Amino acid sequence: MKNWKGLLLATVAVGGLPLAAHAQTGQDRGFLGAWTPTATRNVVSGLYIGGALGANWMEQQGLSAGSISGVSPFQSPNGRINYNTGWVGLGSIGWGLGNGLRFELEGNYRENEVDSVKGFGFQTGFNRAGGFQRTYGIMANVFYDFNIPAFPWVTPYVGAGIGGAWQEMRNVRFVNPAQGNRAVNINGSSSNFAYQAMGGVAFNILSVPGLATTLEYRYFATLENDFGAVGRGGPPFGNAGGRIETDNHNHSVLVGLRYAFNQPRPAPVAAVAPAPAPVPAPARTYLVFFDWDRADLTDRARQIISDAAQNSRRVQSTRIEVSGHADRSGTPQYNQRLSERRAEAVAAELVRNGVSRGEITVQAFGESRPLVPTADGVREPQNRRVEIVLR
């Protein structure tokens, strides 16, 4: 029977991850609307690759042999296979949006050896059961990383994926002890829809930004598969061909390694320099900060501009430089225009405080000169500013 309940859960998980992201990030707004977080120190931004190895446990697999011609040696057409613990390996390439969401393509491989075959109406198992089941999968996954600024070395995550899988039964065989040791052999492959759900923890290696080890659990399943089967051993069963249907449900625990290519590097520590020789009084600098995506002046901003205007007369400045800046939460083009509006607003307020417009030089740098380096899409209050320099 097809596991439609599991398929429904996987579909709901894929659809629900963006809602979890929205709940985590609140009202922030970047190029993905309300999903840009306020802090992204320990989530992935940009291209990343990963790989993992681990143990794979197949659930007891149901067999339906009702379509095999000459099934009379069985008291019932339904049986089940038990598998030994196997292994799983996977590789992936993906893209993190910097707000907790990641999308990736994954290739995976699973292999388990047959342990025993039971059922078909017999109380005891079958003699000389053996063979392998192998599954090759290609999946499209979506993940959500939970940002924990207080613990930058650890990032929990959940995910779900859908795709296709090729299930291979290789030399799977079992002997019917009640009918003269007549045997069934299954060889072949079958492709079908696959789905999975994941949960894990990434342990970030802070000394190598972007590098992390992962520990995760995965549930992986396909819809019911269909294989060719041959019965051997003489009449009435010998050399009878037909089909056997199986299910495929897996539980995996994996340890992996992941590397994100463009994670922000920590700022270098400046060397301690000897005290400089006395020089003329340095230029006076004032910083005017703005709310996110705004170019209007707050009361505090007007007070700072007023102080700058008064001091420009005291120090007898000959030129006042007004430079606008923005953070990286929007597109570069939009941030350039926003920094221009901020600079013009400050220049107009200086003129209102008695400074001649001819003394003011206005320039805008967009997001290109941050006070605090961040990844793309990050809202940083200290980068939303205008600098006033008295020359």
Residue 270 counted as domain residue: no
Integer-rounded Cα radius of gyration of the chain:
33
**3-state SS of 207-225?**
CCCCEEEEEEEEEEEEEEE
Q: What is the pLDDT of residue 390?
A: 83
Q: What is the pLDDT of residue 279?
A: 54
Residue 273 counted as domain residue: no
Residues 15 and 57 in one domain: yes
Full residue range of the structural domain in which residue 357 is found: 284-390
167-211 pLDDT, tens digit per residue, is 988 888 777 666 556 667 788 888 999 999 999 999 998 888 889
**Dist CA 349 CA 347 (whole Å):** 5
Residues 135 and 186 in one domain: yes
| HSE of 380, CA atoms in CB hemisphere, 13 A | 20
Residue 384 counted as domain residue: yes
Q: What percentage of residues in the chain have a pLDDT greater than 70?
A: 73
Contact 291, 298 (CB under 8 A): yes
The CATH number of whichever domain residue 194 belongs to comes to 2.40.160.20
Residues 248 and 288 in one domain: no
Peptide bond into 236 cis (omega under 30): yes
Residues 162 and 104 in one domain: yes
Residues 334 and 245 in one domain: no
- Bridge-based pairing state of the strands 320-324 and 61-64: unpaired
Residues 242 and 123 in one domain: yes
Residues 9 and 73 in one domain: yes
- Bridge-based pairing state of the strands 284-289 and 78-83: unpaired
- Domain final residue, candidates 260, 294, 326: 260
Residues 8 and 136 in one domain: yes
Residues 95 and 222 in one domain: yes
60-115 pLDDT, tens digit per residue, is 887 776 555 444 455 566 778 888 999 999 999 999 998 999 999 999 999 999 88
Residues 242 and 289 in one domain: no
Contact 120, 77 (CB under 8 A): yes
Residue 277 counted as domain residue: no
Residue 275 counted as domain residue: no
- Domain final residue, candidates 260, 276, 297: 260
Residue 256 counted as domain residue: yes
pLDDT higher at 279 or 203: 203
321-331 pLDDT, tens digit per residue, is 888 999 888 89
CB proximity list for 184: less than 8 A, separation 6 or greater: 65, 68, 173, 174, 176, 229, 230, 231, 232, 244
The CATH number of whichever domain residue 324 belongs to comes to 3.30.1330.60
Residue 272 counted as domain residue: no
For the record, the structure tokens of 300 come out as: 């505090």
Q: What is the pLDDT of residue 21?
A: 40
* 35, pLDDT greater than 90: no
Residues 251 and 319 in one domain: no
In which band, very low, low, confident or very high, does the pLDDT at 305 lie, cut at 50, 70 and 90? confident
Q: How many structural domains does the chain have?
A: 2
For the record, the structure tokens of 166 come out as: 């090729």
pLDDT higher at 174 or 368: 368
Total-model pTM:
0.57
pLDDT higher at 165 or 17: 165
Q: What is the pLDDT of residue 196?
A: 97
Residues 256 and 365 in one domain: no
Residue 20 counted as domain residue: yes
Contact 199, 182 (CB under 8 A): no
